[in-house]
Amino acid sequence: MAKSELQKLIDGEWYKVNDPEVASRKINSAVLCQEFNNIPENEPAKQEAKAREIFGSTGKNLVVHSRLNVDYGKNIHVGDNFLANYNLTVLDIAPVKIGNNVWIGPNTDIYTVNHPLTAKGRQERLGIGKPVTIGNDVWIGGHSTICPGVTIGNGVVVAAGSVVTKDVPDNVVVGGVPAKVIKKIEQED
């Protein structure tokens, strides 16, 4: 029996992005994000409750400001003391795992979905999911983009406006397009 497009997606293989079963996963999260984005900023407890409903798992001390946009939501897993500033987009076709004590600046995008380089592949409406992992004690500056398949280590600072296309080791500052290591961070005693 041939694999469904959804199973191909889950298995990290090329899948048809316009498949009805794949597309149906987005509908519920789109509605939940609309509900989240309609909650006034002066009602943080309601924002927190709705974010917990959207995400797959969350730790303690969750702060997410509006606007929030996700593909699926249930593939997003965040640890304790998570802060997402305004206008976070997470295309979580594949899992996004975020550690403890992570701050994400405004207008940041995290992508797990990629598409073919060839015009033929895009005409066939193909996509592939690659997980993103962000370690503990990470600060991602505003207007940054985290690309599919990237792992960001512990204690990392991503400079504002960076495009992270490759894995980042622990305890460094990265910046630029594409992001490169700028300096090592000396840890406090």
Catalytic residue of the set 65, 77, 115, 143: 115
Q: How far apart are CA 97 and CA 149, in angstroms?
A: 11
Confirm whether 143 is a catalytic residue: no
Give the length of the chain: 189
Reduced 3-state DSSP string for 90-145: EECCCCEEECCCCEECCCCEEECEECCCCHHHHHCCEEEECCEEECCCCEECCCCE
**Strand bridging mode 139-140 / 145-146:** unpaired
| Catalytic positions, written as ranges | 115
